[in-house]
Amino acid sequence: MRLRRKVCVLGASGVGKTSLVRRFAEGKFDEDHQRTIGVAISKGTLTFDDISLELMLWDYEGAEPSSQYSRSFISGASGLVFVVDVTRPETLDHLLEAQVKGRGYTGSRPSVLVANKIDLTRDFALNKQQLDKAGEQDWLIVQASAKSGDNVDDAFAKLGQMMLDARKKSA
């Protein structure tokens, strides 16, 4: 069986949304990546037993996360990927604030929070209080690195499994 699902990728400018998407969809990392303008849509496929799950990844340009919670952008999404930069704690603070304000838009969709850039462990600046706050959301938290590829496929695979589980519950 083949399924196609929309996934929105949300986060502040410079957190590595496009790099994560590109690492997952194409297996590549580009040091000289250009900023996304508007929305870039990529495709990545996951396989679960007899199910081929095609993720249509809507990578929205970086901005204050609260501006990304428009109904039109989130509409039709089966899953969400929130991305923060572990070297910039304010990217998680802004995302948490936007999540509280925009809860009605995101609903209870399966969601993964990717704490990106763990390859910069010396510069890891997120603190326990922030991570605990993030843990209070209905998000699965994955620490990853688009640059090295660590845990990127795992983050998308876990989201895919959550989306399939949600599909079974609603059937």
CATH number of the domain bearing residue 88: 3.40.50.300
Residue 35's pLDDT is: 67
| Mean pLDDT for the stretch of residues 3-14 | 92
Backbone angles phi, psi at 96, to 5 degrees: -65, -40
Residue 162's pLDDT is: 96
Do residues 44 and 25 lie in contact, with contact meaning Cβ atoms separated by under 8 Å? yes
Domains in the chain, number: 1
Domain that holds residue 22: 2-170
Residue 67's pLDDT is: 55
Where residue 63 falls among pLDDT bands split at 50, 70, 90?
low
pTM of the full predicted structure? 0.90
The partner residues of 140 in beta bridges, in order of sequence, read 112
Residue 102's pLDDT is: 63
